[in-house]
């Protein structure tokens, strides 16, 4: 993402230089700026995607918590067992259940990351498709990501297009259809979510009484 913004910023600078060189003294170049993070956070599609991710996260965390409780009960049963052979049998079960729980945790992490990337990729594509028409309507020389612009000449007028992009994005996004369901995708991401809590690693064998 940063690489794309960097290229966009360089292209914008070149466009501004070219237009300013041939423009009459009174002409003012209009530079559009877009706050991508704000666009993600404010649009309905972004909010719905975050809600879906949060719901999925909570469902997975609940499953992990339940599995971990079962593991704790198994450990307690092994600790209370007087017979060594039975303690060893419970210890083997603990080892297997711990391994399965760790694998489940890793799978859930991957699924959440894939779902987040898919939602981000879809939103990024939709936002990019709106930049050109907005720039044409507002007669902008170029549009760059807002945080990448550190200086503009006094003769250049900055125009923040973020709100207009969000408005148009909401207009073309049916309610409840803001982002795709969990799936594999690409691109890093803004929808904020807490990571799934890793299960506590249990000892291989239940402790002796």
Buried/exposed code over 1-32 (b: 16+ C-beta within 10 A; e: otherwise): eeeebeebbeebeebbeebeeeeeeeeebbbb
User: What's the sign of the alpha-carbon dihedral 42, 45, 46, 47?
Assistant: positive
Length of the chain, please? 209
pLDDT of residue 193: 39
Full-model pTM: 0.62
Determine what percent of the chain is predicted with pLDDT higher than 90. 55
pLDDT of residue 20: 43
Q: At 31, is the secondary structure helix, strand, or coil?
A: strand
**Of 129, 143, 122, the residue nearest 40 (C-alpha):** 122
């Amino acid at each position: 993402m940063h690489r794309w913004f960097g290229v966009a910023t360089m292209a914008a600078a070149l466009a501004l230089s070219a237009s300013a060189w041939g423009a009459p003294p009174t002409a003012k170049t209009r530079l559009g700026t877009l706050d991508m993070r704000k666009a993600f956070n404010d649009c309905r599609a972004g909010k719905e995607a975050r809600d879906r991710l949060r719901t999925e996260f909570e469902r997975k965390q609940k499953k992990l918590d339940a599995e971990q409780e079962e593991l704790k009960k198994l450990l307690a049963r092994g600790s209370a067992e007087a017979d060594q052979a039975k303690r060893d049998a419970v210890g083997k079960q603990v080892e297997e259940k711990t391994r399965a729980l760790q694998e489940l945790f890793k799978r859930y992490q991957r699924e959440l990351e894939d779902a987040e990337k898919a939602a981000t990729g879809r939103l990024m594509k939709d936002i990019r498709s709106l930049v050109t028409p907005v720039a044409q309507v507002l007669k902008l020389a170029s549009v760059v990501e807002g945080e990448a612009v550190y200086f503009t000449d006094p003769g250049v007028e900055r125009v923040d297009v973020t709100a207009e992009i969000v408005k148009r994005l909401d207009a073309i996004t049916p309610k409840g259809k803001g982002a795709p369901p969990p799936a594999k995708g690409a691109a890093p991401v803004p929808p904020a979510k807490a990571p799934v809590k890793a299960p506590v690693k249990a000892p291989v064998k239940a402790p002796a009484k």
